[in-house]
């Protein structure tokens, strides 16, 4: 069965995905609220997997909740915490429970999170995880053993268009596509002229690209990302614009900027859609969409 | 030259390790830990003095020529009485030396150092980990730079998203292995090697613990 997200990707429409983050604990109220708010507005929502290496309710459980609530989940899977056996097993479970979209990630280093002494696994990397999915679909696991039952995923991966140096990143991007990635969600892009340059290159490949849009919440937050998040580059003009917002209105300015970027990506048909990351403020995604003239 | 790279344990941990052990004999090593200044003559003397000030009785101290050598017992023979008087041998060598001394002398040992990695001296006083002895060498496909060791995540298919201006996301004093590999392969006109999708690694190349018999 083709997932609704895959249908959207192949429909030629401007696809919108967003995120929901499982909580630290078992109280899923806030996450459920976000799902409720977003499920009819976006084409799919990523369920993050211990993001920033912080232990949380699992992405698989979060994706099930999205599904149960009538939304379309994209299961994020990192290679940091599980070896190939555990990843394959979780894929079997996801498939059996109708979670049909997977985003394959390497995962942040353990030391950034809240279990700093834990072992980072990285038995597979993101491109090998994509390949493992395609192999399972053919009825075979990574040990070369037969796997019973139908398996079919819409599998994707990520790219960092602002990485420096860029070419090693692009080689890996191409390997992910070779391995079978059907869609790519990018790391946050802010300089859309640069992004257009990336898309001039990326368009030659048979893959759908969703531009990553991270909501800026303040000028210091933008500066923090420039300093601390690899491959994210907020141009000075945008930082100045954030700083120019009247006191207490930075978030409104951030929503306006994110909306403006989504609108431009869409109007100039830069790529196949956007992936909006509001990092804990998912309830603002509808406002960003409204600012972009969508929904 | 390969060196065993060590650093001294935090003093608090050392104090816990030596709790209840009043008489101590301290052993350093004349090779690696002398070079890295973690267990040479000055460090051994300093340790003996510190413990002495804390009320421990130092029955003696010595720097073994090569602590991991089979002849270490013979080399330390003249200190037999001083060692016998001690409750514990505090050893300022790498873990190879600690285990060798424990096996040869059959005395209670306490390591004063943590052994970090097998390091290669790449410039004066700078040591880098370049091989983890994984048993499944892929250097032929990576321009002679090991990503299993030099990439924090041991990735074999290219950089992660944390690569940052040629540095690693975990520490900007550490190089991104995949930037190095890319540069090397580009210079060699062999970037095609990087484009090949590498299969998942065999993590059981040598079943741990390793053993070799001639």
As a whole number, the mean pLDDT across chain B is 96
Q: How many residues does the structure list for chain A?
A: 295
Q: Are B29 and B69 a contacting pair, CB within 8 Å?
A: no
Give me the percent of chain A exceeding a pLDDT of 70. Answer: 100
Q: Please, which residues bridge with residue B210 across strands? A: none
Domains of chain B: 2-116 (3.40.50.2300), 132-195 (no CATH)
Position A49 confidence tier, pLDDT thresholds 50, 70, 90: very high
Distance spanning both ends of chain B, measured CA to CA: 24
- Any chain A CB within 8 A of the CB of B191? yes
Pick from B161, B177, B193, B200 the residue to mutate for testing the A interface (most A CBs within 10 Å): B161
Decide if A52 touches B, using CB distance below 8 A. no
Selecting from A123, A165, A231 the residue whose C-beta is nearest the C-beta of B161 gives A231
A156-194 confidence digits (pLDDT tens): 999 999 999 999 999 999 999 999 999 999 999 999 999
Nearest to B162 among A108, A126, A127 (CB): A108
pTM comes to: 0.96
Which chain A residues touch B165 with a CB distance below 8 Å? 164
The alpha carbon of residue B134 is apart from the nearest alpha carbon of chain A, in Å, by: 13
Average pLDDT, stretch A204-226?
97
pLDDT band at A1 (very low <50, low <70, confident <90, very high): confident
Confidence of residue B1 (pLDDT cuts 50, 70, 90): confident
**Chain B residues with CB inside 8 Å of A126's CB?**
157, 160
d(Cα A225, Cα A213) in Å, to the nearest integer? 13
Alpha carbon of A136: minimum distance to chain B alpha carbons (Å): 15
**pLDDT tops 80 at residue A295:** no
pLDDT band at A270 (very low <50, low <70, confident <90, very high): very high
Average pLDDT, stretch B37-47? 98
CB contact under 8 A, B159 and A163: yes
Q: Do A122 and B155 touch (CB under 8 A)?
A: yes
Q: Which two tokens stand for residue B29?
A: 């090593």
The pLDDT value recorded for residue A39 is 97
- Predicted interface score ipTM higher than 0.90: yes
The 3-state secondary structure of chain B, one letter per residue: CEEEEEEECCHHHHHHHCCCCCEEEEEEECCHHHHCCCCCHHHHHHHHHHHHHCCCEEEEEEEECCCCCCCHHHHCHHHHHHHHCCCEEEEECCHHHHHHHHHHHCCCEEECEEEEEEEEEEECCEEEECCCCCCCCCHHHCCCCCHHHHCCCCCCCCCCCCCECCEECCEEEEECHHHHHHHHHHHCCCCHHHHCCCCCCCCCCCCCCCCCCC
A-facing residues of B in 123-152 (CB < 8 A) are 152
Read off the pLDDT of each residue in B29-41 and give the average, rounded to a whole number.
97
Contact criterion met (CB < 8 Å) for A125 and B155: yes
Quick one: average pLDDT of B125-148? 95
Mind listing the domains of chain A with CATH numbers? 4-214+272-279 (3.20.20.220)
What does chain A look like in DSSP terms, one character per residue?
Answer: ---HHHHHHHHTS-EEEEEE---SSS--HHHHHHHHHHTTTSSEEEE-SSGGG---S-HHHHHHHHHHTT--EEEEEESSS--HHHHHHHHHHHHHTT--EEEEE----GGGSS-TTSPP--SS-HHHHHHHHHHHHTTB-TTS-B--S----EEEEEE-TT-SS-HHHHHHHHHHHHHT--EEEEEE---HHHHHHHHHHHTTSS-EEEEEEEPP--HHHHHHHHHHSTT----HHHHHHHHTSPTT-HHHHHHHHHHHHHHHHHHTT-SSEEEEE-TT-GGGHHHHHHHTT--
Judge: A125–B157 Cβ closer than 8 Å, yes or no. yes
For position B103, what pLDDT does the model report? 96
Closest by Cβ to A168, choosing from B156, B162, B182: B182
Smallest Cα–Cα separation from A181: which of A207, A153, A152? A207
Residues A243-247, mean pLDDT to the nearest whole number: 95
């Amino acid at each position: 069965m083709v997932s609704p997200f895959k249908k959207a990707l192949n429909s030629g429409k401007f696809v919108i995905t967003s995120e929901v983050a499982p909580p630290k604990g078992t109280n899923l109220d806030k996450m459920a609220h976000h799902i409720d708010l977003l499920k009819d507005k976006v084409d799919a929502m990523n369920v993050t997997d211990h993001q920033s290496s912080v232990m949380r309710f699992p992405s698989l459980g979060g994706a099930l909740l999205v599904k149960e609530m009538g939304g379309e989940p994209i299961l994020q899977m990192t290679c940091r915490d599980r070896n190939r056996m555990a990843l394959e097993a979780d894929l079997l479970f996801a498939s059996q429970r109708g979670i049909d979209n997977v985003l394959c990630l390497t995962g942040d280093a353990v030391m950034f999170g809240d279990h700093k002494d834990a072992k980072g696994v990285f038995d597979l990397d993101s491109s090998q995880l994509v390949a493992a999915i395609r192999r399972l679909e053919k009825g075979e696991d990574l040990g070369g053993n037969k796997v019973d039952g139908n398996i079919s995923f819409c599998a994707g991966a990520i790219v960092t268009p602002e990485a420096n140096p860029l070419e090693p990143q692009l080689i890996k991007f191409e390997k992910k596509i070779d391995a079978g990635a059907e869609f790519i969600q990018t790391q946050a892009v802010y300089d859309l002229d640069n992004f257009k340059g990336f898309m001039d290159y990326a368009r030659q490949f048979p893959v759908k690209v969703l531009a990553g849009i991270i909501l800026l919440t303040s000028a210091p937050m933008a500066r923090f990302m420039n300093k601390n998040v690899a491959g994210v580059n907020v141009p000075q003009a945008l930082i100045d614009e954030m700083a120019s917002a009247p006191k207490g209105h930075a978030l409104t300015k951030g929503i306006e900027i994110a909306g403006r970027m989504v609108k431009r990506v869409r109007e100039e048909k830069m790529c196949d859609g956007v992936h909006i990351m509001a990092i804990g403020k998912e309830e603002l995604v509808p406002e960003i969409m409204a600012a972009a003239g969508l929904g | 030259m390969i060196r065993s790279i060590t650093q001294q344990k935090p003093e608090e941990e050392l104090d816990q390790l030596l709790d209840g052990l009043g008489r101590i004999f301290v052993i350093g090593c004349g090779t690696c830990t002398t070079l890295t200044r973690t267990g040479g003559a000055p460090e051994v003397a300093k340790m003996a003095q510190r413990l002495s000030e804390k009320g421990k009785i130092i029955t003696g101290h010595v720097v073994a020529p090569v602590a991991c050598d089979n002849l270490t017992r013979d080399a330390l023979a003249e200190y037999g009485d001083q060692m016998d008087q001690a409750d514990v041998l505090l050893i300022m060598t790498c873990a190879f030396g600690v285990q060798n001394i424990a096996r040869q002398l059959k005395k209670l040992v306490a390591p004063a150092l943590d052994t970090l990695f097998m390091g290669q001296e790449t410039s004066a006083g700078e040591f880098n980990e370049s091989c983890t002895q994984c048993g499944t060498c892929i250097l032929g496909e990576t321009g002679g730079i090991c990503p299993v060791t030099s990439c924090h995540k041991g990735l074999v298919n290219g950089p992660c998203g944390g690569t940052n201006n040629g540095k690693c996301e975990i520490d900007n004093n550490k190089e991104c292995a995949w930037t190095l590999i890319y540069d090397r392969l580009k210079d060699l006109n062999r970037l095609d090697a990087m484009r090949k999708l590498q299969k998942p690694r065999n993590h059981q190349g040598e079943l741990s613990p390793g053993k070799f018999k001639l």
